[in-house]
A and B are shown apart, each in its own frame.
Chain A
Amino acid sequence: MSRRTRRGLARAAVWLLLGMFIVLALGPVAWGVVTSLMPLSALTTVPPEISLANVTLDNYQEVLLSDQSLTRGLVNSAIIATLTAVISLSLGSAAAYALSRLQVVGANKMLLGILATQMFPGIVIAIPLFLVFSQIGLIDTYPGLVIIYLSFTLPIVIWILKGFFDAIPPQLERAAAVDGASPFQVFRLVILPISLPALFAAGVFAFIESWNEFFFAIIFTRISVKTAPIAIAEFSGQYQTLYGQMLAAAVLASIPVVVLAIIFRRFILEGFVEGAVKG
């Protein structure tokens, strides 16, 4: 086999694998979108009657207008995810900056400890946590869910931001100090603006994590703070599953995440620190 054919084959293999990955990743999404546009009757016949003639927006109309549970779920999710992201960022950026810049005794052990909290499977802590939360009245409340979500977003946010702060050359802070900036001004005028992409990335991460979370949400919510994923799951009832409406709800619930992911990508690619220092 010549070098050229070998390279050609390798290329083909890469494309094939990428193609398979795309089908795997986008297939369910496409299927979901198609299903959300079909009436239930078309979906429950065998074989399903998927055709352009059957396309309808009834499912969307139904989940948005007639039934309030999805809208409420979306609002709850938005509140919880936003709170989680904002608190993760405020606490996480301070912690990460301190761990990156101050000479904290045992900083590495602390970092490992923070990461170690992520090793427990959720189910291990779910029941004890449930008992504790019901004692102190946190079941079915915004703070209850936000606290749980913080426990898994905060460590990751700290790790992401610590890595980013580590990459900011300390000379920048020194230069600002020599220029006459107070420590707070250094943080506000130099570090923060440079860190925007990373902060944004970490914030979006925390938001998406909490937005999509299902396991803890179903255990720790009852009625008042039911999140979007729970509302979606409830389209599957004991006697029938409203596939069309369920997927319409799912499509609607993914829109904010998709929009965030697109912005996120553009932001991340900008590489702000480039050009700060040489060498």
Chain B
Amino acid sequence: MADVQLIGVTKRFGSVVACDAVELHIADGEFVTLLGPSGCGKTTTLNMIAGLEEVSDGEIRMNGRLVNDLSPFERDVAMVFQNYALYPHMTVGDNIGFTLRLRKRPKEEIREKVSRVADMLELGHLLDRLPRELSGGQQQRVALGRAVIREPAVYLFDEPFSNLDAALRIRMRAEIKELHQRLQVTSVFVTHDQEEAMSISDRVAIMRAGRIEQVGTPEEVYARPVTTYVARFIGSPQMDIFEGVLERSEAGVAYRVGEVAFPVPPSIGDRLPATPVDLGIRPEHVTIVDGGAEGVPVSIRVVQPIGPVTYVTLGWDGGVITSRVPGMARLEPGAAAHVRLDGEHLLFFDRESGRLLDLGGRDG
């Protein structure tokens, strides 16, 4: 059990700054995911927490103790690697028990613990196999078992599912989440898959170019992304973000994108600054309406039913927007339609900095 603190953690490789003053506090028992595209520094951060990579600057503390100069083993962390990193010459049992063997535990104890962990991960019948005789999912489980048997203070996961096929990935997600719920051990998970991050984490830290852009619960980062970068990264399909123009008139405030102007509720419109702002809206807050006063005219471009919902791409002269429609909607591409943006969920970002404008008076 441990809490983990990253204080101004920086990593330089020559002149390249891989991690730039990363600040993160992971509470005891929390499941935090570092999320970002490749090269954003998330794996380097994880390796520094693990003790596999030296910290150039800053402090890493576990339970308040400075661990910068401690080996991975001394930090009491266990890590699951992207490509599993199983010892190819050892059986499944020996792979799982390797760490206990290094600690010179009695043979009887090793056997007992290995079989307990193996049973938990449904590997009991595979103990005498070599890694190369296992399927990808089984190999992943062995890697997990090797971490679990340690009963470490912190679990570290480096994109552990990226080599699995989609169905297996979703199953393993649930398994990791269940494991965490059962063991309640502090866990740091690295992935570039936003859906994976959202689905298993207590909190998500979105990284960009070596810095943490936002840390928050999945709900927070989804509903109130602090920058356009986070807004685009979280959610699938992506949030639509427009570089339009605010129009203020007697009738109220509207946001013009090409030929159409979306009305902005007065409560928000009145607070918007005079500087250029971008408008962001998620597909579920774009509703297709029966025309009339509240909708703006568009045409249907593409209809993508995926089962529970249908994504409809709507276009007009100067822009496109995606709407999420429940069920398998029967809509004809090319037909005219009207859309309404849910005023409650309009997000405005400062165009220059890309930061979310806090307009108050709303909840996320």
Contact = CB atoms under 8 A, between A and B. Distances in A.
A278 B139 CA distance: 9
A279 B165 CA distance: 12
Interface string A173-217: 011111111000100011001100000000000000000000000
Interface stretch (B96-104, B194-202, B253-261): B96-104
Contacts of A278: 83-84, 136, 139, 163
A178 B83 contact: no
Nearest to B131: A275
A278 B84 CA distance: 7
B77 interface: yes
Contact of A171 (B83, B102, B132, B139): B83
A177 B71 contact: yes
Interface string A251-274: 000000000000000000000111
A277 B146 contact: no
A272 to B, nearest CB: 6
B146 A194 contact: no
B83 A179 contact: no
Contacts of B131: 275-276
A163 interface: no
Nearest to B74: A180
B50 interface: yes
A182 to B, nearest CB: 9
A-side interface size class:
20 to 34
Contact of B102 (A172, A185, A274, A279): A185
Contacts, number: 85
Of the listed residues B81, B103, B146, the one surrounded by the most CB atoms of chain A closer than 10 A to its CB is B81
Contact of B52 (A174, A179, A189, A277): A174
B155 to A, nearest CB: 11
Contacts of B103: 180
Contact of B132 (A178, A185, A274): A274
A129 B85 CA distance: 48
B82 interface: yes
A169 interface: yes
A189 B139 CA distance: 20
Contacts of B84: 277-278
A179 B88 contact: no
A175 B150 CA distance: 13
Given A171-B81, A171-B83, A275-B131, A178 B89 contact: no
Contact of B72 (A177, A189, A194, A279): A177
A177 B88 contact: no
Given A180-B102, A276-B131, A278-B139, A194 B79 contact: no
Nearest to A181: B102
Contacts of A171: 81-83, 85
B87 A172 contact: yes
B86 interface: yes
Contacts of B86: 175, 275-277
A271 to B, nearest CB: 8
B98 A179 contact: yes
A185 B99 CA distance: 12
Contacts of A180: 73, 99, 102-103
B102 A275 contact: no
A279 B98 contact: no
Nearest to B97: A179
A245 B37 CA distance: 72
A272 B88 CA distance: 7
B85 A276 contact: yes
7 contacts: A169-B83, A176-B87, A178-B52, A180-B99, A272-B88, A273-B88, A275-B134
Interface of A: 169, 171-172, 174-181, 185, 189-190, 193-194, 272-279
Interface of B: 50, 52, 71-73, 77-79, 81-89, 98-99, 102-103, 130-134, 136, 139, 146, 150, 162-163
Given A275-B86, A275-B132, A276-B86, 9 more contacts: A174-B79, A175-B86, A176-B98, A178-B77, A180-B102, A193-B89, A276-B85, A278-B136, A279-B82
9 tightest CB-CB pairs across the interface, nearest first?
A: A275-B132, A277-B83, A171-B85, A276-B88, A180-B73, A179-B99, A175-B85, A275-B131, A178-B72
